[in-house]
């Protein structure tokens, strides 16, 4: 097998700390990954991994190879991209990172439409709620709701994302409706864990920014368990509206304080500076900018049901 492909396999195992996870990422069998690593070790006459039944870790030789091969492979990838870009047709594989919540929205459908439009582009999606390191993890594009602060990235606003406060109708019946944001301090909150155990929810009241400290009964780093808990009447959620739009449409959740939920939260795209000339990346960003709003409207033909 080509040495470069063997090194790519080695890097994937090192990045993920697992032969099985690397096999899934590369879409090959675990046996092939083990075979390729063994072949690379034989060519280099060096053991690259400490293996046990539960863990995989780099040896000193493996650490050295990873440090030396990362910039080499990045340069090879960049050269290949630049050569492809001499043609105006977007092509090649792009690794796109996005949080689990966005995978429950119109975004996957948009990405499918993009691939139909550009058959020479291949997408590799990585669902992860944490902020990834684009360079170290080989990610071409990261999509996030909320500001991304990293001087090493190019960050672009794609679309505004309205926020919403909602709970199950039974919860509002039992606990009463908040007349103003400050009333939420007396309610049971279900919160996003990266914001801390008792975060502050932000509102816009008559043009003034208002923050309300809430008391969290449950927190999670993904929207799905929070939405499910809210549907069961366990508390109030505050998150991008698109992450609970089907539940708002069906009436399983009902929104309140719609006149003062912020409208300045955005969907952001971030990519490494070395990728800014990629024809495929430019095409995807333009496609998302042009089509996201319409795809979102297709998912939100009805206004969220608001308790009065």
pLDDT in tens, 239-288: 988 889 899 999 999 999 999 987 668 888 988 876 666 889 999 999 99
pLDDT at 130 over 80: no
Considering the chain, what is the average pLDDT of its residues?
86
pLDDT in tens, 168-224: 999 999 999 999 999 999 999 999 876 666 789 999 998 888 999 999 999 998 889
Q: What gap in Å lies between CA 254 and CA 241, rounded to an integer?
A: 11
Terminal C-alpha separation, the chain: 67
C-beta of residue 207 within 8 angstroms of C-beta of residue 197: no
Q: What gap in Å lies between CA 264 and CA 204, rounded to an integer?
A: 10
- Maximum distance among all Cα pairs of the chain, rounded to whole angstroms: 73
Question: In sequence order, which residues have a C-beta less than 8 Å from that of residue 185 and are 6 or more positions away?
Answer: 212, 213, 214, 215
pTM score: 0.62
Q: What gap in Å lies between CA 98 and CA 242, rounded to an integer?
A: 15
Given 3.60.21.10, 3.40.50.150, 3.40.50.300, 3.40.190.290, which CATH number is that of 163-256? 3.40.190.290
Closest by CA position to 232, among listed 176, 167, 175? 167
**CATH node for 1-84:** 1.10.10.10
Domains 1-84 and 94-158+265-308 share a fold: no
**CATH node for 94-158+265-308:** 3.40.190.10
pLDDT at 29 over 50: yes
Q: Where are the domains of the chain?
A: 1-84, 94-158+265-308, 163-256
Q: What gap in Å lies between CA 280 and CA 84, rounded to an integer?
A: 10
pLDDT at 297 over 60: no
């Amino acid at each position: 097998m080509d040495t470069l492909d063997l090194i790519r396999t080695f890097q994937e195992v090192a990045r993920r700390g697992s032969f099985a996870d690397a096999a899934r990422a590369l879409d090959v069998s675990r046996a092939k990954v083990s075979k390729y690593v063994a072949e690379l070790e034989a060519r280099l006459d060096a053991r690259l991994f400490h293996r046990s039944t539960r863990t995989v870790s780099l040896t000193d030789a493996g650490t050295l190879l990873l440090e030396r091969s990362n910039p080499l492979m990045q340069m090879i990838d960049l050269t290949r991209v630049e050569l492809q870009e001499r043609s105006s047709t977007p092509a090649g594989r792009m690794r796109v990172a996005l949080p689990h919540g966005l995978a429950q929205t119109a975004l996957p459908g948009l990405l499918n439409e993009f691939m139909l439009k550009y058959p020479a582009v291949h997408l590799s999606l990585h669902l992860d709620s944490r902020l990834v390191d684009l360079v170290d993890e080989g990610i071409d594009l990261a999509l996030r709701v909320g500001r991304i602060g990293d001087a090493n990235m190019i960050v672009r606003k794609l679309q505004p994302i309205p926020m919403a406060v909602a709970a199950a109708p039974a919860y509002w019946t039992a606990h009463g409706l908040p007349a103003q944001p400050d009333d939420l301090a007396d309610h049971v909150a279900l919160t996003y864990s990266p914001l801390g155990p008792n975060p502050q929810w932000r509102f816009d009241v008559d043009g003034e920014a208002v923050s309300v400290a809430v008391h969290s009964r449950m927190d999670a780093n993904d929207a799905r368990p929070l939405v499910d808990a809210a549907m069961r009447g366990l508390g109030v959620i505050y998150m991008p509206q698109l992450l609970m739009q089907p539940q708002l449409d069906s009436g399983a959740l009902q929104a309140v304080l719609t006149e003062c939920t912020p409208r300045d939260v955005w969907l952001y795209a971030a990519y490494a500076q070395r990728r800014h000339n990629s024809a495929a990346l430019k095409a995807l960003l333009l496609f998302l900018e042009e089509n996201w709003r319409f795809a979102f409207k297709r998912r939100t033909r009805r206004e969220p049901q608001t308790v009065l």
